[in-house]
């Protein structure tokens, strides 16, 4: 299997004199990975996942994604790279006053000119594709509803459809189930993994629910306080590893 994403010695500080959030992270994502990133709150999972499409600027290190040196990209090239990376968020990050359809279509904005964006006039093939994905995530009855009229699980399905509209080559999932109840969480994870396998797209998934991570992901990385503590197949994760990842800091 080929490597899609390769991160080397990644370091992040939000302020020049602030604490180091990520302290030299290395890992690779292969083309058939559905990888979980686990770790306690504040370990740096969200920061790490946002470095990959540079929603957060890394301080140093290197990121190679789909053969491109992410850190060197200028504005335009960066936007083109982001089009290839679908992202699903903890709080869904939908545009609440827009319809479900417009939210899903907004996944195509990277391919849409300003004039078309202004009138929300998306090409026919985008609309057809949006209808297909809305059906795939089970929302065909809610197309014209406003996004804020939906329940949490339904909103996350809109978020999934939006990410799929990009025809992504990598999926970044930032705690996709943390705002959902356990039953819906399982459904949403199953849906995402099913689609990822179907489309052959690798995924990196931040998740704090270890049970879900074990159930759905083939590989697990454990972060603690900006340091990688574990990296391996899900079956090799032992309780002692978990204790190491989630250990209280010893004073």
Partner 1 sequence: MSITQPHSDAFTGQIDMRRNRHLKMALGWGMFILFATWCVNGTIIADTDWSRIGGRNGVLASVGRYISLDLGLLSELIIPTIETFMMACVGTVLGCFFSLPVAWLGAANVTPSKHILYPLGRFLMVVSRSVHEIVWALIFVSAVGLGALPGILAIAMRSVGFISKITAEAIENIDAKPVEAVRAVGGNNFQVMYYGILPQIYPVVLATVIFEWDINIRRSAVMGLVGAGGLGLLFFRQMNSFNYGGVTMVILAILMLIVLGEVISHYLRKAVI
Among 7, 22, 27, 108, binds partner 1 (CB under 8 A): 108
Q: Is residue 70 close enough to count as binding partner 1 by CB under 8 A? A: no
Give yes or no for residue 144 binding partner 1 (CB under 8 A). no
Among 57, 69, 80, 244, contact with partner 1 (rule: CB under 8 A): 80
The secondary structure of residue 199, as a DSSP letter, is H
| Closest separation in Å from C-beta 43 to partner 1 | 20
Residue placing its CB nearer to partner 1 in the complex, 43 or 88: 88
85 binds partner 1, rule: CB under 8 A: yes
Q: Does 71 bind partner 1 (CB under 8 A)?
A: no
Angle, alpha carbons 12-159-118 (nearest 5°): 95
Q: Does 248 bind partner 1 (CB under 8 A)?
A: no
State the DSSP code for 166: T
Strand partners, 10: 25
Buried b (16+ CB within 10 A) or exposed e, 164-199: bbbebbbbbbbbbbebbeeebbbbbbebbbebbeee
Tokens 């994760």: give the residue. 237
Closer to partner 1 by CB, 173 or 245: give it. Answer: 173
Instruction: Say whether residue 23 binds partner 1 (CB under 8 A).
Output: no
- In whole angstroms, the minimum distance from the beta carbon of 168 to partner 1 comes to 10
Which residue do the tokens 């609440």 mark? 96
């Amino acid at each position: 299997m080929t490597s899609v994403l390769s991160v080397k010695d990644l370091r992040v500080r939000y302020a020049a004199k602030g604490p180091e959030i990520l302290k030299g992270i290395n890992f690779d994502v292969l083309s058939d990975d559905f990888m979980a990133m686990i770790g306690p709150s504040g370990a740096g999972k969200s920061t790490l996942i946002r470095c990959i499409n540079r929603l957060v600027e890394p301080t140093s290190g290197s990121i190679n994604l789909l053969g491109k040196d992410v850190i060197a990209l200028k504005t335009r090239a960066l936007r083109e790279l982001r089009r290839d990376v679908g992202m699903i968020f903890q709080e869904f990050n939908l545009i609440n006053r827009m319809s479900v359809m417009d939210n899903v279509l907004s996944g195509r904005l990277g391919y849409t000119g300003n004039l078309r964006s202004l009138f929300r006039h998306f090409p026919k093939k985008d609309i057809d594709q949006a209808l297909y994905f809305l059906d795939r995530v089970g929302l065909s009855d809610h197309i014209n509803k406003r996004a804020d009229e939906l329940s949490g699980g339904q909103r996350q399905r809109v978020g999934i459809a939006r990410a799929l509209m990009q025809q992504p080559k990598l999926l970044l999932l930032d705690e996709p189930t943390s705002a959902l109840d356990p039953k819906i969480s399982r459904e949403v994870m199953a849906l995402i993994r099913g689609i990822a396998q179907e489309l052959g797209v690798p995924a990196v998934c931040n998740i704090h629910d270890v049970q879900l991570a074990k159930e759905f992901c083939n590989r697990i990385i454990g972060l603690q306080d900006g340091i990688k503590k574990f990296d391996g197949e899900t079956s090799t994760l032992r309780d002692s590893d978990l204790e190491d990842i989630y250990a209280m800091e010893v004073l």
